[in-house]
Amino acid sequence: MKGCKIRVASFDLATGRQGDQYSLSSDSDVNSIEDVIYAAESDIPIVAWASTSQQTLKVNILGSKSVAALDAKRDSIQPDSLTIEAPRGHGGKPHFLLHVQAPSSHWADVLHVDTKKSTVSKAYELPRVEGHGAFSASQVEGNVYFTRITTEEVTLVSSTSADTLSRWWRKGIVAVVDQPAPRPAHATTEVVPKSATSYAVRSAVFYSSGDWALIRNGELIWQRCESLASVIGAEWAQLVGKPRIAQKELETESHANLISAYMHRVTRHAKELQAMALMVPEFPQMAQKWFETFLSSQQSSASKTKAFGFEKAIITVTENNRLIALDPTASGKIIWNFRIADFGVNEGLNATTVKSLNTAYTALLGGLSDRLNSLRVKGFIPPQRNQTSAAERSNWKSLSASYSLVGDTVQGKRNGVPTWTFLPKEGHKVTDIALPLSEEPVASIGKALGDRGVLYKYLNPNVIMVTASDEQRGEVSVSLIDAVSGSVYYTAEHKGVDVNRPISSVVSENWLAYSFTSDPSDPTLSKGYLLIIAELYESNLPNDRGPLRNAYNFSATGPSISAISQKPYVISQTFHLPEEISAMAVSQTTQGITSRQLLASLASSHAIVGIPRHVLDPRRPVGKDPTSDQIEEGLIRYQPMIDLDPKLYLNHRNEVFGVKKIVTSPSGMESTSLVFSYGLDIFGTRISPSFAFDILGTSFNKVQLGLTVIGLTIGVFVVAPLITRKQTNQLWHSN
Amino acid sequence: MRLYALTLAACLRVAFTIYADEANTVDYHLPLLGFPVAKNTFFHQPHSDSKASLLYTLSEKSVAAAINPKDGSIVWRQVLSMNASAETSRLIPSSIPSTLFTTTEGLLSSWSASDGRQIWQREFPGGLVKDVTFTPHDQRGNPEADVFVLVEGARSGIWRLDGLSGAVKWAVEDSRLVHKTILRQRC
């Protein structure tokens, strides 16, 4: 490749007229501007670049045309890269440091520039040390200091002499468990000379593990885990604990006959009574702890979170191949932070492969639990999953149907044999596939109407929603497909869409929602941010189960009564939003009784909002007030604009930047759902869409209740004999 | 029973968020920056009269931030662009007191160093801001508050702007100019 000559030109400050210029012969070394490793960024008037073999440093002093070459080799070891560290700011001496990095060791030379004679000379050398290190230059009151940070120590030298001014041993490791330890990648330093011989040095060092730490006089003061800013996938994980009653025991009891099950239960209780006798000495302590939790009104105390089932961890995978677990009950603190390569998973995870995090987990699960046990950390493991990727869904045990995105089409397979292919409209490309959660509980099979009728929901856990868009014509099409048979249940097309803006979609129980930005050229159509919701029902008539009635079996691929019979009846509605949605999710609870909230992240106001489902009801009456039946159902009149009430915002005062995805999980309580979002910022919370109906509020006065009960009991025992005596006396005296 | 519970739950439609005393205990927010870029990370004094300095950085995700060196908390943070590339973005401490400059593609912005507010911004349409440098201190030590900008693109050249307002003082257009500018005081 042809080399480049470096051309230096000077311009007059006041007028901009060009002064003299000259070229340097750098053809053999420099191929692009990035190869120039230093160009007079502070008061040091040089241009420097490295030779192609990285063995020599070539320096040109501005104003002269000569190029000096300095050898960077030491002990005949070939360097990998050369970097120059020079102090920022003005007024310092023109001294700089050449940091040479070799495959397994590093060293540095300190060089002085003599502006009068236009020469560069080596002042002294810093010793070669194994491993990697970082150097940084700083300037205080005209003196230049260089700080060297390695994994073991921090040393400070002055630019004038090779004597070490200060040396500190590194205390406090950056809290990751990498083998080998993370190495310092780059650093910036501030030096404060406290007296003639003692200095205070603080450096902000960035480590190869993605942590940014401040080291003051060798000691670690704080660190920020910046790998979390590039999270590409996250999953909720359950704490692995000892089950209270062994699953096996309960199963034996349920399958045996009545007498043997009863005897089994009696013997088990006798054994547990024995175990309880051993726990007697601990009773006072347990009673005290119980009393404390009873009296404490804090909802987020440790024992309460355990009882309520809020104790779940979030396991995240980041772009720099790290696996990090966060604890939502401890303000998102990091539980552990591992490098994926340490577990022997060789393939680098990138954003596309981690779309199905399950495959990553099945590979890691084996090594992960052992490693966690050996390191004695909290054993969070992801929930048990089928040994299949998220693209696969298994129906009944005999069938295994799966689908995958192949090029621009969606293809379905059954038992590995391709069965169906879905092609979007011509010119459209499939951009997104949304699917409902695999085990999403649905509390009711129908929607109760005001006249006591029921509109039966179309519940099919195998549907997937395919979004396809055409960039040229600005069109978006959405299709709801059965993943087993490939039949299309619902399609919608939209014209005049800005395809370059985010289009998000979500599917849950019997409804789907998607949002996009509408920018039509026709002025009669509405422009803005649209949210469309579609609900699926078995039939449009209430109390009607559709053509299938209550058939015992249903096969998606079997012969159908008619082509129309299997299709659900769809009601859809469009709403306008004041802002654009970048990611959507639905809140989840253990039994599905709590009404769901559609969580949406708003990119422009850096917020996450929870829109309640009753606002997004497509059966809301349009153009007229609701009838008495509709009021009973809870329908309000249709308004095209959804006003986002400030009370719906989950993030109150926090500004959550760059949300890419929101993940929700059920907790132990039916009323509460756990939320976690990632992107640039990490944000998590607990939401109670139907008010926390199963948790006592913090203002509930338990002490008063207890005292009242005790008082009444005492009252009953005191007053009862009096009353009986009075009644007996009355009977005696009346006769 | 389920249906009854469902209708009851549906009646409790009040979707409150969280109460004020639950804020920050029930939820958590980790404001992050991304990996700091070496050439854009430095200690700098936000006020020229006090010795206290903040740690400034422009990360690879184009987030400019000031960190308190005592505890690592973010003093202020500005997300410059959600998809600007890291190579063209630079954070430059300026000799003009209490200001910082950022260059992102075709945009040069001047920010207040202590609270992160924008002072002025100049766009060079069709161009990429490649380098920024400042007038050196003159003999008496008074800094002239001017900025030199090297722009590459539709109209490559060197521009001299007034540091406090962003007004253009002069511009030299030379299509051969690329990439790095070198400022040298001629005695």
What ipTM was estimated for this complex? 0.83
The end-to-end CA distance of chain B, in Å, is: 92
Q: What is the DSSP letter of B96?
A: S
A118 touches chain B (CB under 8 A): no
A8-17, A134-143, A528-537, A582-591: range with lowest mean pLDDT: A8-17
Confidence of residue A181 (pLDDT cuts 50, 70, 90): confident
From A16, A36, A443, residue closest to B6, measured CB to CB: A443
Q: Residue A172, by phi and psi: left (phi above 0), alpha (psi -120 to 50) or beta?
A: left
Contact partners, residue B59, CB within 8 Å, separation at least 6: A226, A229, B33, B34, B35, B36, B37, B40, B65, B86
A710-735 tens-digit pLDDT? 999 999 999 999 999 999 999 998 86
Which residues are paired to A46 by β-bridges?
A: A61
Please judge whether A221 and B35 are an interchain contact, meaning their C-beta atoms are less than 8 angstroms apart.
no
Tokens at B21, concatenated: 């005393």
Please judge whether B180 and A206 are an interchain contact, meaning their C-beta atoms are less than 8 angstroms apart.
no
From A33, A63, A614, residue closest to B180, measured CB to CB: A33
A228-232, B99-103, B137-141: range with lowest mean pLDDT: B137-141
| pLDDT of A579 strictly over 80 | yes
Segment B140-157 mean pLDDT: 68
A17-21, A362-366, A410-414, B160-164: range with lowest mean pLDDT: A362-366
Residues in B touching A47 (Cβ below 8 Å): 182
Segment B25-52 mean pLDDT: 86
Within a 10 A sphere around the Cβ of A491, how many other Cβ atoms?
A: 14
Contact partners, residue B61, CB within 8 Å, separation at least 6: A229, A230, A658, A680, B33, B34, B35, B79, B86
Q: Report which of residues A305 and A617 the model is more confident about.
A: A617
From B5, B30, B184, residue closest to A10, measured CB to CB: B184
Three-state secondary structure string covering A400-453: CEEEEEECCEEEEEECCEEEEEECCCCCCEEEEEECCCCCCCCCCCEEECCCCC
β-sheet with B157-162: strand ranges across: B127-134, B146-153, B157-162, B168-173
β-sheet with A219-225: strand ranges across: A184-193, A199-207, A211-216, A219-225
What is the distance between the alpha carbons of residues A603 and A657, in angstroms, rounded to a whole number?
A: 7
Residues in A touching B22 (Cβ below 8 Å): 299-300
Residues in B touching A612 (Cβ below 8 Å): 13, 15
What is the distance between the alpha carbons of residues A210 and A230, in angstroms, rounded to a whole number?
A: 10
Q: Rounded mean pLDDT of chain B?
A: 75
Residues in A touching B63 (Cβ below 8 Å): 657, 680
Of A435, A224, A351, give the one whose Cα is nearest residue A679: A351
Q: Report which of residues A533 and B94 the model is more confident about.
A: A533
Q: What pLDDT is stored for residue A182 in this prediction? A: 80
**Degrees, nearest 5: CA angle A401-A407-A412:** 15
Q: Are A88 and B42 in contact (CB under 8 A)?
A: yes
| pLDDT of A310 strictly over 70 | no
Name the minimum distance, in Å, from the CA of B70 to any CA of chain A: 8
| pLDDT of A418 strictly over 80 | yes
Q: What is the DSSP letter of A698?
A: T
Q: What is the DSSP letter of A63?
A: T
Residues in A touching B55 (Cβ below 8 Å): 188, 204, 214
Residues in A touching B176 (Cβ below 8 Å): 7
Name the minimum distance, in Å, from the CA of A346 to any CA of chain B: 24
Please judge whether A224 and B93 are an interchain contact, meaning their C-beta atoms are less than 8 angstroms apart.
no
DSSP A490-523: EEEEE-SB-TTS--EEEEETTEEEEEEEE--SST
β-sheet with A401-406: strand ranges across: A392-393, A401-406, A409-414, A417-422
B43 touches chain A (CB under 8 A): yes
Q: Residue A712, by phi and psi: left (phi above 0), alpha (psi -120 to 50) or beta?
A: alpha
Please judge whether A186 and B17 are an interchain contact, meaning their C-beta atoms are less than 8 angstroms apart.
no
What is the distance between the alpha carbons of residues A108 and A124, in angstroms, rounded to a whole number?
A: 9
Which secondary-structure segment (H or E) carries A111?
Answer: strand A105-114
Tokens at A296, concatenated: 């404490």
Q: Which residues 202-231 of A have a C-beta within 8 angstroms of B? A: 202, 204, 206, 210, 212, 214, 221-224, 226, 228-230
Residue A341 has phi, psi (to 5 degrees) of -60, -25
**Which amino acid does the sequence have at A375?**
L
Q: Are A385 and A320 in contact (CB under 8 A)?
A: no
From B13, B29, B176, residue closest to A681, measured CB to CB: B29
What is the distance between the alpha carbons of residues A260 and A252, in angstroms, rounded to a whole number?
A: 10
Nearest chain A residue to B186 by CA: give it: A12
Q: How many A×B Cβ pairs under 8 Å?
A: 203
Tokens at B117, concatenated: 């507010």
What is the distance between the alpha carbons of residues A424 and B18, in angstroms, rounded to a whole number?
A: 43
Q: Are A89 and A139 in contact (CB under 8 A)?
A: yes
Q: What pLDDT is stored for residue A13 in this prediction? A: 63
Q: Directed axis angle between helix A702-734 and helix A283-295, to 10°? A: 100
Q: What pLDDT is stored for residue A727 in this prediction? A: 93
Residues in A touching B65 (Cβ below 8 Å): none
Segment A663-684 mean pLDDT: 90
Which secondary-structure segment (H or E) carries A304?
Answer: helix A302-308
Q: What pLDDT is stored for residue B56 in this prediction? A: 92
Q: Report which of residues A249 and B79 the model is more confident about.
A: B79
Q: Are B128 and B106 in contact (CB under 8 A)?
A: yes
User: Which residue bears the tokens 């099409």?
Assistant: A477
Nearest chain B residue to A34 by CA: give it: B179
CA A29 from chain centre, in angstroms, equals: 44
What is the distance between the alpha carbons of residues B52 and B43, in angstroms, rounded to a whole number?
A: 10
Tell me the pTM: 0.83
A616 touches chain B (CB under 8 A): no
Name the minimum distance, in Å, from the CA of B11 to any CA of chain A: 8
Name the minimum distance, in Å, from the CA of B60 to any CA of chain A: 10
**Which amino acid does the sequence have at A638?**
Y
Name the minimum distance, in Å, from the CA of B18 to any CA of chain A: 8
| pLDDT of A172 strictly over 90 | no
Segment A53-76 mean pLDDT: 78
Q: Rounded mean pLDDT of chain A?
A: 79
Contact partners, residue A520, CB within 8 Å, separation at least 6: A495, A496, A526, A527
| Distant-in-sequence contacts of B160-164, Cβ < 8 A, 24+ apart | B160/A13, B160/A16, B161/B108, B161/B122, B163/B94, B163/B96, B163/B99, B163/B110, B163/B134, B164/B96, B164/B119
B7 touches chain A (CB under 8 A): yes
Q: What pLDDT is stored for residue A245 in this prediction? A: 59
Q: Directed axis angle between helix A258-278 and helix A247-255, to 10°? A: 150
Of A713, A668, A708, give the one whose Cα is nearest residue A692: A668
What is the distance between the alpha carbons of residues A361 and A357, in angstroms, rounded to a whole number?
A: 6
DSSP A30-56: -SSGGGEEEE--SS--EEEEE-TTS-E
Bond prior to B97 in cis (omega within 30° of 0)? no
Q: Which of A84, A135, A201, A212 to mutate to test the interface with B (most CBs of B within 10 A)?
A: A212
Q: Report which of residues A507 and B21 the model is more confident about.
A: A507
From A204, A444, A682, residue closest to B41, measured CB to CB: A204
Residue A503 has phi, psi (to 5 degrees) of -120, 115
| pLDDT of A346 strictly over 80 | no
Please judge whether A651 and B27 are an interchain contact, meaning their C-beta atoms are less than 8 angstroms apart.
yes
A10 touches chain B (CB under 8 A): yes
Please judge whether B158 and A16 are an interchain contact, meaning their C-beta atoms are less than 8 angstroms apart.
yes
Compute the CA torsion angle A299, A304, A310, A311 (nearest 10 deg).
130
Q: Are B69 and A204 in contact (CB under 8 A)?
A: yes
Name the minimum distance, in Å, from the CA of B20 to any CA of chain A: 9
| pLDDT of A348 strictly over 90 | no
B168 touches chain A (CB under 8 A): no
Contact partners, residue A601, CB within 8 Å, separation at least 6: A581, A582, A583, A584, A607, A608, A609, A656, A659, A662, A677, A679
B82 touches chain A (CB under 8 A): yes
Residue B39 has phi, psi (to 5 degrees) of -75, -15
B171 touches chain A (CB under 8 A): yes
What is the distance between the alpha carbons of residues A655 and A608, in angstroms, rounded to a whole number?
A: 9
Confidence of residue A608 (pLDDT cuts 50, 70, 90): very high
Q: Residue A275, by phi and psi: left (phi above 0), alpha (psi -120 to 50) or beta?
A: alpha
Q: Are B149 and B102 in contact (CB under 8 A)?
A: no
Please judge whether B43 and A189 are an interchain contact, meaning their C-beta atoms are less than 8 angstroms apart.
yes
B178 touches chain A (CB under 8 A): yes
**Which amino acid does the sequence have at A579?**
E
A610 touches chain B (CB under 8 A): yes
What is the distance between the alpha carbons of residues A189 and A205, in angstroms, rounded to a whole number?
A: 9
Burial of A377 by CB count in 10 Å (0-12 exposed, 13-18 middle, 19+ buried)?
middle
A4 touches chain B (CB under 8 A): no
CA A125 from chain centre, in angstroms, equals: 46
Q: Which residues 666-725 of A have a C-beta within 8 angstroms of B? A: 680-691, 693, 698
Which secondary-structure segment (H or E) carries A712?
Answer: helix A702-734
A22 touches chain B (CB under 8 A): no
Q: What pLDDT is stored for residue A324 in this prediction? A: 84
Please judge whether B53 and A190 are an interchain contact, meaning their C-beta atoms are less than 8 angstroms apart.
yes
